[in-house]
Amino acid sequence: MEFIKVTEQYQPGIALIQLNRPKELNALNKQLMEEVRDALQAFDKNDQVRVIIITGNEQAFAAGADIKQMADKSAIDMLLIDQFSTWDQIRKTKKPIIAAVSGFALGGGCEFAMTCDMIIASESAKFGQPEIKIGTIPGAGGTQRLTKAVGKAKAMELILTGRFLSAEEAHFYGLVNKVVPVEMYLHEAVELAKEIARMSPVAVQLAKEAINRSFETQLDEGLAFERKNFYLTFASEDQKEGMNAFVEKRKPEFKGR
């Protein structure tokens, strides 16, 4: 594992995955997501693991998918790389996953946290879908999951402006379970995990499946729609301009084509 640290028994029955690209604010490259998928699949098969916690560091849970890896890709490149299959496999994890979030949870980082089952946030957490600022749109469920979590009006505001949501606001809108001081967020996630780990693992798995069913009945359709539009942004000059401007550390000039 190059980009994550895995502890199978962080506490009895509780596994920990720590995203570990601190210099890049844990930007989610392809390999990192594949490592997360492999770890989750192994934990799903491991009877000693009851609950999984995914965390980053104090500064960042994850500042998004790796823009440098995507910047020069065409729509067809994105289609063929098909990173969605990795994300789909992560989404199908049977055991409960708690995201322990501090600092930035942006773009794919916010989507990744929302793919988890519960979120414990530190007071410094910042959630957002800033893809619009680099000429694209959320591609891993942001338009669907954020809208279901915070409602249409707030989701529109966040996704169309790229504004960030503070931890307190995220709690107010029901995106996160609890906000605690920075030094407590992992501890709080562990406390929640311990309580769940004491329950019947079979009942926990079935309850998770049933809750997700109510939440996701129409999600597949929404995700498929979002994917097509996400790929389509890679056919625009504005996506190239937006991502290249980020890489070159300058302001983008969007031309509307």
| Contact residues: ligand DAK, CB under 6 A | 24-25, 27, 63-68, 83-84, 87, 104, 106-108, 111, 130-131, 134, 139-140
Residue 174 Ramachandran class (φ > 0 left, ψ -120 to 50 alpha, else beta): left
Pick between residue 73 and residue 178 the one whose CB is nearest to ligand DAK. Answer: 73
Distance CA(149)–CA(137), nearest Å, equals: 18
| Residues whose CB is less than 8 angstroms from the CB of residue 222 and which lie 6 or more positions away in sequence, other chains included | 143, 144
Residues noted as catalytic? 65, 108, 111, 131
Question: Residue 254 is encoded by which pair of tokens?
Answer: 């969007």
Q: Which is nearer to ligand DAK, 80 or 202 (CB)?
A: 80
C-alpha dihedral (224, 225, 228, 231), degrees to nearest 10: -90
User: Which ranges of 58-184 does DSSP label H, i.e. alpha helix?
Assistant: 67-70, 75-81, 84-91, 108-115, 142-150, 152-161, 167-172
Chain residue whose CB lies nearest ligand DAK: 107
Question: Cβ of residue 148: shortest distance to ligand DAK, in angstroms?
Answer: 18
* CB 13 to ligand DAK: min, Å: 30
Of the pair 83, 143, the CB lying nearest ligand DAK is at 83
Is the distance from CB of 53 to CB of 96 less than 8 angstroms? no
Q: State how far the Cα of 146 lies from the Cα of 109, in Å rounded to an integer.
A: 12
Q: Give whichever of 55 and 86 is closer to ligand DAK, judged by the CB atom.
A: 86
Q: Give the shortest CB-46-to-ligand DAK separation in angstroms.
A: 26
Report the Cα–Cα distance between both ends of the chain, in Å, rounded: 40
Least distance to ligand DAK from the beta carbon of 27, Å?
4
Q: How many helices (H) and strands (E) does the chain have?
A: 12, 10
Report d(CA 218, CA 152) in Å as an integer. 16
Q: How far is the CB of 205 from ligand DAK (least distance, A)?
A: 25
CB nearer to ligand DAK: pick between 49 and 115: 115
